[in-house]
Structure 1
């Protein structure tokens, strides 16, 4: 058996194993085998590993000190594809990004500044920069885990982390709007033309109107996941956009080789519904209602990178999101209703000489160190 130091952490509404790069083999060709065994793949039940059988609970994060000026740490996210012998490194995970800041603080990878340490990070999946503000406990001199911040999808409260994605546009394609338009009409095989907004904010995403594909937009994950026809349609939509963005050559290629990029989501106007915990979510508390598919499954919350994209789309005139958004004079705070409740995003979109610029998108998150120790894999 081989053994590796790891820290099991929750970041936002995701969780996974955090590794320091120096604790892994220098030969990166060994990494996939290690990470797959850590999570227990390809068994979809993941009985022989740490995985939680859904994409949000199958994250791998590798962190190391940066040599770049103005950057404290760099990190790479691996998405273990449940039930397959595959680790996808094409996209960042916004929720686990929230865990990288506290991890760096607790591991002594950054200089501690009281009462709040800003960890300046670079994501190696996208080449983008993120700042995370980490509150410091005055007694222990490290991450102050306790606090009164609550986020939808996580029980209880914890210390507030502010995650600010710096210049997040064009994470994979180099531009905010890969098709140069806020609204496209996709030709979906077996369905026909469908309006969609394709954008690249933190991660690429394609967004459609729920009603246009026969949904209400308030469905919960199990209802979506058990509907084979809808799942197949959503994957065709995702695959069509994937090809348009240049990540795949065919729908089959998109499913096989780019399952995590882009994400696909559907939106509707604010509507009341009951979330996955049985709590009532009221229409007046949100500006948009959305559901997002992540690696073939409806996410139980809303991936943070997808929430970033949706909030920016809300400010794009003529986009699928803007068409159903609650009337807003200025889009500064976008409250997104999702299967676990509501999250608030703060996009900073500026138009200068007809060119759209996106300095940052910020969000409130929490994180927690759940366990640290040694994980064992076969040779």
Structure 2
């Protein structure tokens, strides 16, 4: 029987031979991986042009954008399937600090030609260590080790992430029936992610406005304005949090989530949420035209059935202007941090839920309900109130390895 390492070496050799012999002008060695509830193309930095100005046309070609179906590429027509990670070994200075890998996350537009480097993807980040280990970008696990931890540096947010995954025969073992995550069928190996010092990923501050709660004024009609309570939090990725109860007072938000709103009502909800996001971006000192950052998430109190499952809070998040089928993991992690910061909307809702359910008020693990199920996220704080880490469990799967055309 061939070992997993042997199979990977053969795949790399075949890709190099194909590159040398093919008459096509542009195949690039690539690996297609699922991480959490996202899928994406993983590339070696050395296989891309040194001039980053040439990257956009390559990435658009790989994904098949712009096209709502992305039929000519590897994308799946939604933002969670239109992603790329560019990976390289850490610099000598980084490696001296224990950072083995550096990577850049790329959000590729589906219906347009946007290439966004402004944020990170928590789901695909869970597979950076696995990819680096498979490709020999980082040191292999010690002989006989049952698990391996790879420390990576994300260039988008300038943050460090540790991923720990099980190993067998010195390679990442992803098919152990250990855990399941909402939105993905079946069980797989546990990948533990720890975002180190995640606060201020884009703005340099956990609370970019200086307050845990802000009042945002927006037009509700041609003659009226509305004041909304919002929280601006920047942990793993900056996010604008707003409450569903206040939105539902003047928008068909529940119908929008259920998919039953008229086209006009759904358009009104989308436009209003984008306006809130843009106003929030300005308040956070970010570019309001960069649709990927900040994210916007609508928070709700759990109902009776949710409380029986230990749910602390319910979230509906948008990604690139579209209601997300699950929750972007960086938004989930940001919410996990926010729920432990006194005075934020997340903190208020979690405290209310725990007062009703009897769950300990001070527990730092937060159970979130999103459109596809549940996820538990955690946050650890130092004595001075700074965020030491944010933690979540993901799973992943190898899907394909070879070359990709652009």
Tell me the TM-score normalised to structure 1 length: 0.90
Unaligned runs of 5+ in 2: 1-24, 355-359
Deviations 1:89-134 (A, max 9, x none): 0000000000111111111122222111100100000000000002
Confirm or deny: 8 A CA contact 1:169 1:175 kept in the other structure: yes
* Corresponding residue for residue 75 of structure 1: 103
Counterpart in 1 of 2:150? 119
- Cα deviation per residue 1:142-173 (whole Å; 9 max; x = unaligned)? 11011121111101111110000000000001
- The farther-off stretch of 46-55 and 188-197 is 188-197
CA–CA distance in 2 between the matches of 1:312 and 1:182? 12
Quick check: 1:312–1:349 contact (8 Å CA) kept in 2?
Answer: no
Q: CA deviation at 1:293?
A: 0.5
Matches within 5 A, 1:52-71: 52-67=76-91, 68=94, 69=96, 70-71=98-99
Matches of residues 103-114 of structure 1 in structure 2 within 5 Å?
Answer: 103-113=131-141, 114=145
For 2:102 and 2:309, the matched residues in 1 are separated by 40
Instruction: Report how many aligned residue pairs link the two structures.
Output: 358
Residue among 330, 343, 349 paired with 1:305: 330
How much does 1:351 deviate? 4.5
- Taking the aligned partners of 1:221 and 1:10, their CA distance within structure 2 comes to 27
User: Paired residue for 1:245, among 280, 284, 300?
Assistant: 284
Q: Is residue 370 from structure 1 mapped to residue 370 from structure 2 by the alignment?
A: no
**Inter-CA distance 217–316: structure 2 relative to 1 (3 Å threshold):** farther
Q: Choose the corresponding residue for 1:292, options 299, 311, 317.
A: 317
SS in 2 for 1:181: coil
Q: Partners of 1:77 and 1:173 in 2: how far apart?
A: 18
Q: Does 1:182 align with 2:215?
A: no
Structure 1 residues 210 and 351, CA gap change in structure 2 (3 angstroms): farther
Cα RMSD (Å) of the superposition?
A: 1.8
Question: Alpha-carbon deviation of 1:376?
Answer: 1.1
Q: Distance in 1 between matches of 2:255 and 2:330?
A: 20
1:133 to 151, 156, 164: 164
The answer to which of 314-323 and 205-214 deviates more is 314-323
Residue 311 of structure 1 and its aligned partner are, at CA, apart by: 1.0
Counterparts in 2 of 1:336 and 1:219: CA distance versus 1, 3 Å = farther
| Corresponding residue for residue 229 of structure 2 | 195
Describe the superposition over 1:197-248 as per-residue Cα deviations: whole angstroms up to 9, x where unpaired: 0010011001011111016779747458961111111101101001111223
Query: Aligned pair 1:27/2:51, yes or no?
Result: yes
Q: 2:323, 2:329 → 1: CA distance?
A: 14
Partner secondary structure for residue 106 of structure 2: strand
The 3-state SS of whatever aligns with 1:232 is helix
Name which of 17, 28, 31 aligns with 1:4. 28
Contact 1:3 1:375 (8 Å CA) reproduced: yes
Could you say if the C-alpha distance between residues 316 and 62 of structure 1 is closer, same or farther in structure 2, counting changes exceeding 3 Å?
same
Structure with a larger share of its residues in helix: 2
Match of 1:42 among 59, 66, 87: 66
- Which stretch shows the higher mean deviation, 191-200 or 169-178? 191-200
Q: In 1, Cα distance between the equivalents of 2:309 and 2:30?
A: 43
Match of 1:100 in 2: 128
- Quick check: 1:8–1:17 contact (8 Å CA) kept in 2? yes
Q: What do residues 1-50 of structure 1 show as CA deviations (whole Å, max 9, x unaligned)?
A: 31101101111000110001011111111110000011111112211111
- Deviation (angstroms), 1:350: 3.5
Deviations, residues 320-368 of structure 1 (Å, cap 9, x unaligned):
112222224213110000011000001113452xxx2000001000111
CA distance in 1, matches of 2:262, 2:390: 30
Provide the residue aligned with 2:173 in structure 1: 144
Distance change in 2, residues 1:282/1:306 (3 Å): same
1:235 is matched with which residue? 274
Query: Could you tell which deviates more after superposition, 196-205 or 143-152?
Result: 143-152
Distance 2:234 2:316 in 1: 18
User: Does the residue aligned with 2:172 lie in a helix, a strand or coil?
Assistant: coil
Give the match for residue 167 of structure 1.
Answer: 197
